[in-house]
């Protein structure tokens, strides 16, 4: 199957020559009807409620008020927002891809307070081409932490895709964790759409350490009053790797609060394209959005593109974004060297600090440990030890 999908659309178009307006996900793969997710016993309060084909998913979305209505034409003569059923960060063509490959959506319902994290481990122990789509419905007042961990056997290759939709009813809480540590010859995409009703809290922690190419999209729709979002992305752009992501936080409810943090490191010949948007819609009075991107660049021939946007059609809001891109500051290096730490070690410390700050938000020892190994290996590769110390 030849895949060529337009994904990660910038919510507002900008100059075409900058090549920011969208990305193209392309691959040539044959999908196998094989499940690489390890068996997980669902805890009490969480159940698999069904498998939805596209028509059933559309029906479910309508019944739960998750349809995307075409928005006003604002920035140009073209619609700002591509209409999509239950909007995600990567966009409608991912749904087409899943549908064409015959992937159904697994509907999970959560209606209790689940104390321990639920972990879905995807283990690609062979060359693989697989996609999964899940819809998680967290009912009013319910709470859950879900970990999706993507791992694979070194030396294998493949194409892996994950589509996740989350619907949080009033006062529901969820911490979703996605940790991707696939071998370097994988292509990976992860598409997320979240709807938050009043007072719902959503925490999203994403760690991107593996694969040669990765496409990430996340769209947080804060519909309800006083809903809260906290999103953190940590990534290492290894040599010759490519990362393209699109995070959009849409504020609709009054007093909704959204915080997004991006911590990245780019090594030689790595390429990264980021789109980060705070979108304040009319009537989201007293909403607060804050977004920061901090990128450490540690190699030659890198391509580092960023487009952090604030869109505002409500006056009574507070929005802020900041980006910092560069090497280690001379002051920091001097401080480290005055304490006997050489430049290479200082760099490693700073890379570790960035990644482990995100990893520390993940309540799972295995993932935390593996994240540490990835930092080790990043430095081993750079000093020709071929990752033997892992």
Partner 1 sequence: MAEMRGDTPIDISEDRSKGLLNDVERGLYDFIDEEREEDFYKVDEGLTEEIVRQISQEKHDPDWMLEFRLKSLRIYNELKVPNWGPPIDGLDMARIVTYVRSKTDMKASWEELPEDIKNAFEKLGIPQAEREQLAGVGAQYDSELVYHNVRKDVEEQGVVYTDMESALTGKYADMVREHFMKLVPPTDHKFAALHGAVWSGGSFVYVPPGTKVDIPLQSYFRLNAPGAGQFEHTLIIVDEGSDVHFIEGCSAPKYNVANLHAGCVELFVGKNAHLRYSTIENWSKNMYNLNTKRAICEEGGTIEWISGSFGSHESYLYPTSVLKGDGSHAEFTGITFAGKGQNLDTGARMVHLGKNTSSFIDTKSICKSGGISTYRSSVEIRKTAEGAKASVNCGSLMLDSISRSDTVPAMDIRTDKADVGHEAKIGRISDDAVFYMMSRGISEAEARAMIVSGFANPVSKELPLEYAAEMNNLIKLEMEMG
Smallest CA-to-CA distance from 200 within 276, 135, 143, 278 is with 143
Among 26, 40, 318, 386, binds partner 1 (CB under 8 A): 318
Among 202, 280, 374, 379, binds partner 1 (CB under 8 A): 280
Q: Decide if residue 39 touches partner 1 (CB under 8 A).
A: no
Q: Is the Cβ–Cβ distance between 128 and 30 less than 8 Å? A: no
* Distance of closest approach, residue 79 Cβ to partner 1, in angstroms: 12
Among 50, 112, 117, 299, binds partner 1 (CB under 8 A): 299
Site for partner 1 in 10-29 (CB under 8 A): 12-16, 18, 20-21
How many whole angstroms from its chain centre is CA 372?
Answer: 20
Smallest CA-to-CA distance from 180 within 124, 221, 261 is with 124
Q: Which is nearer to partner 1, 176 or 243 (CB)?
A: 243
Q: Decide if residue 69 touches partner 1 (CB under 8 A).
A: no
Q: Is the Cβ–Cβ distance between 251 and 220 less than 8 Å? A: no
CA distances from 258 to 140, 227, 310 (A): 20, 8, 13
Q: Decide if residue 317 touches partner 1 (CB under 8 A).
A: yes
Q: Which residues are CB-contacts of 106 (< 8 A; sequence separation ≥ 6)?
A: 48, 50, 51, 52, 132, 133, 134, 135
> Helix crossing, 343-359 with 365-382: angle to 10°?
160
Q: Which is nearer to partner 1, 116 or 383 (CB)?
A: 383
Q: Which is nearer to partner 1, 138 or 317 (CB)?
A: 317
Helix H, strand E, coil C: the string for 261-308 is: EEEEEECCCCEEEEEEEEEECCCCCCEEEEEEEEEEECCCCCEEEEEE
Degrees, nearest 5: CA angle 369-371-375? 115
Q: Which is nearer to partner 1, 259 or 306 (CB)?
A: 306
Q: Decide if residue 301 touches partner 1 (CB under 8 A).
A: yes
Q: Which is nearer to partner 1, 40 or 282 (CB)?
A: 282
Among 62, 113, 316, 369, binds partner 1 (CB under 8 A): 316
Site for partner 1 in 101-140 (CB under 8 A): none
Among 1, 42, 73, 353, binds partner 1 (CB under 8 A): 73
Q: Which is nearer to partner 1, 328 or 356 (CB)?
A: 328
Q: What single DSSP character describes residue 117? A: P
Query: Cα–Cα distance between 75 and 279 in angstroms, integer?
Result: 13
**Only segment of 25-33, 227-235, 239-247, 277-285 that touches partner 1 (CB under 8 A):** 277-285
Question: Where does this chain bind partner 1 (CB under 8 A)?
Answer: 12-16, 18, 20-21, 72-78, 266, 280, 282-283, 297-327
């Amino acid at each position: 199957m030849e895949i060529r999908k337009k994904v990660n659309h910038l919510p507002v178009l900008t100059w075409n020559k900058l090549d920011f307006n969208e990305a193209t996900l392309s691959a040539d793969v044959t999908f196998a009807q094989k499940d690489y997710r390890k068996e997980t016993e669902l805890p009490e309060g969480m159940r698999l409620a069904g498998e939805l084909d596209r028509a059933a998913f559309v029906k479910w979305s309508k019944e739960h008020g998750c349809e995307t209505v075409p928005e006003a034409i604002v920035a140009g003569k073209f619609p700002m927002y591509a209409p999509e059923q239950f909007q995600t960060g990567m966009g409608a063509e991912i749904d087409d891809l899943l549908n064409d490959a015959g992937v159904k959506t697994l509907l999970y319902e959560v209606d209790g307070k689940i104390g321990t994290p639920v972990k879905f481990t995807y283990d690609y122990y062979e060359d693989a081409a697989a996609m999964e789509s899940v819809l998680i419905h967290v009912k009013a007042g319910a709470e859950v932490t879900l970990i999706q961990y993507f791992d694979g056997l070194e030396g294998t290759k493949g194409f892996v895709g994950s589509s996740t939709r989350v619907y949080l009813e009033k006062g529901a809480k969820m911490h979703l964790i996605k940790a991707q540590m696939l071998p370097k010859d994988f292509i990976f995409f992860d598409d997320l759409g979240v709807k938050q009703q009043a007072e719902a809290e959503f925490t999203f922690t994403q760690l991107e350490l593996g694969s040669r190419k990765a496409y990430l999209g996340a769209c947080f729709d804060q519909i309800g009053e006083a809903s809260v979002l906290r999103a953190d992305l940590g990534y290492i752009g290894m040599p010759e790797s490519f990362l393209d992501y699109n995070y959009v936080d849409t504020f609709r409810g009054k007093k909704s609060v959204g915080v997004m943090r991006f911590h990245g490191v780019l090594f030689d010949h790595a390429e990264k394209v980021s789109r980060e948007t705070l979108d304040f819609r009319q009537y989201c009075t007293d909403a607060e959005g804050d977004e920061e991107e901090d990128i450490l660049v540690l190699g030659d021939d890198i391509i580092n593109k960023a487009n952090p946007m604030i869109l505002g059609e409500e006056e009574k809001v507070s929005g802020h974004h900041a980006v910092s891109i560069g090497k280690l500051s001379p002051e920091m290096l001097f401080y480290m060297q005055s304490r006997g730490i050489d430049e290479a070690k200082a760099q490693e410390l700073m890379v570790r600090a960035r990644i482990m700050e995100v990893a520390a938000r993940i309540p799972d020892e295995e993932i935390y440990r593996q994240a540490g190994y990835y930092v080790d290996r990043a430095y081993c590769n750079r000093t020709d030890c071929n990752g033997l110390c892992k």
